[in-house]
């Protein structure tokens, strides 16, 4: 659902972009993780260079890092040894597989008209206790 120009920019700039954010995880990530049970299974949408997924794994969570850009997936693997995979939002077909979804600064790339369907679908990926 992201436009080709946006995906192209991230592909062309994957190394520079991921290196500029490599040193520290997102500032709200730990607050998010503190609310989850130990070892929770987390889907990360838009993992970029992998910094947040690496933090999740370091804190003992199971993480499934995904990004729509092959170059970003390559950087997440290279920078942090993560099992990142290429996946666009609309390609997610899991239902009640994850305990949580981390989608930091990536949903802004979804067209407004498509956002309700993306959010409704992703609500199904999270287990409800």
Kindly report, residue by residue over 3-48, the tens digit of the pLDDT.
777 777 666 677 676 665 566 788 899 999 999 999 999 999 989 8
Q: Give the CATH number for residue 10.
A: 3.40.50.150
* pTM of the predicted model as reported, rounded to 2 decimal places: 0.79
| pLDDT, mean over the chain | 81
Total domains, the chain? 1
Residue 112 is assigned to a structural domain of this protein: yes
Q: Which residues contact 85 (CB under 8 A, 6 or more apart)?
A: 64, 65, 66, 73
Largest CA distance in the chain: 41
DSSP state for residue 88 in the 8-state scheme: -
Domain, as residue range, for 33 = 4-123
Instruction: Identify the helix (H) or strand (E) that includes residue 34.
Output: helix 29-34
Residue 129 is assigned to a structural domain of this protein: no
Band (118; pLDDT cuts 50, 70, 90): low
List residues bridging with 45 in a β-sheet.
66
């Amino acid at each position: 659902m992201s436009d080709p120009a946006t995906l192209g920019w991230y592909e062309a700039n994957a190394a520079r972009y991921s290196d500029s954010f490599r040193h520290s995880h997102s500032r709200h990530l730990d607050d998010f993780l503190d609310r989850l049970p130990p070892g929770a299974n987390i889907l990360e949408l838009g993992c970029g260079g992998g910094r947040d997924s690496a933090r999740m794994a370091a804190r003992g969570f199971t993480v499934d890092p995904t990004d729509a850009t092959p170059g970003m997936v390559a950087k997440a693997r290279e920078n942090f040894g993560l099992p990142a995979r290429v996946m666009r939002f609309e390609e997610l077909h899991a239902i009640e597989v994850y305990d949580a979804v981390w989608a930091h600064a990536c949903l802004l790339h979804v067209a407004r008209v498509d956002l309700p369907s993306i959010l409704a679908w992703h609500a199904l990926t999270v287990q409800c206790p």
